Every structure is written in C-alpha cells, then in structure tokens.
C-alpha cells in the first residue's frame, strides 16, 4: 500500500512513534515499512493482509508526534 504523507516530517514522526508506541510497533511487525521523504510504503508480511484501516490507525497514533 503506497501512501503520500503530507510532509517529510510525518515520516520522521512515524519512526519516532515506532520507538515509543506499542501499537505502532505492532504495525511494524505486521508490515515491512519503507519511508523516503514524504512517501510511505507498507507491504504486508507473510501471513498478514493489507488493510486501509491499519493506515488510518497509523495516522491516528502518530498524530501526537507531529
């Protein structure tokens, strides 16, 4: 799933949240996460399905870091 982030700072916020927030850490377990600038690529790992709900939840939990 490819997502364009509003700014490159959002990518940095996702990385910071992945260190502090267990729910964001869970998404990093479920997905291979690639961030470059304002581009985010989430690829479901084997045994998991991609879900738009996961992208929404990621945004919800990261909003406090922006």
pLDDT bin (cut points 50, 70, 90) of residue 64 is: confident
Distance between CA 34 and CA 43 in Å, rounded?
Answer: 8
Q: φ, ψ for residue 53 (rounded to 5)?
A: -60, -35
**pTM recorded for the entire structure:** 0.83
Token pair for 35 = 């961030």
The per-residue pLDDT for range 18-57, each reduced to its tens digit, is 999 999 999 999 999 999 988 999 999 999 999 999 999 9
Domain ranges within the chain, ordered by starting residue: 2-65
Provide the strand spans (E) within 1-66: 2-4, 31-36, 39-44
Q: Which residue(s) pair with 40 in the sheet? A: 3, 35
């Amino acid at each position: 799933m490819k997502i364009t982030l509003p700014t490159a700072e959002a990518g940095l916020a996702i990385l910071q949240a992945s260190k502090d927030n267990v729910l964001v850490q869970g998404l990093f377990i479920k997905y291979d996460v690639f961030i470059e600038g304002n581009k985010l690529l989430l690829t479901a790992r084997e045994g998991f399905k991609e879900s738009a709900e996961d992208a929404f939840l990621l945004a919800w939990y990261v909003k406090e870091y922006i």
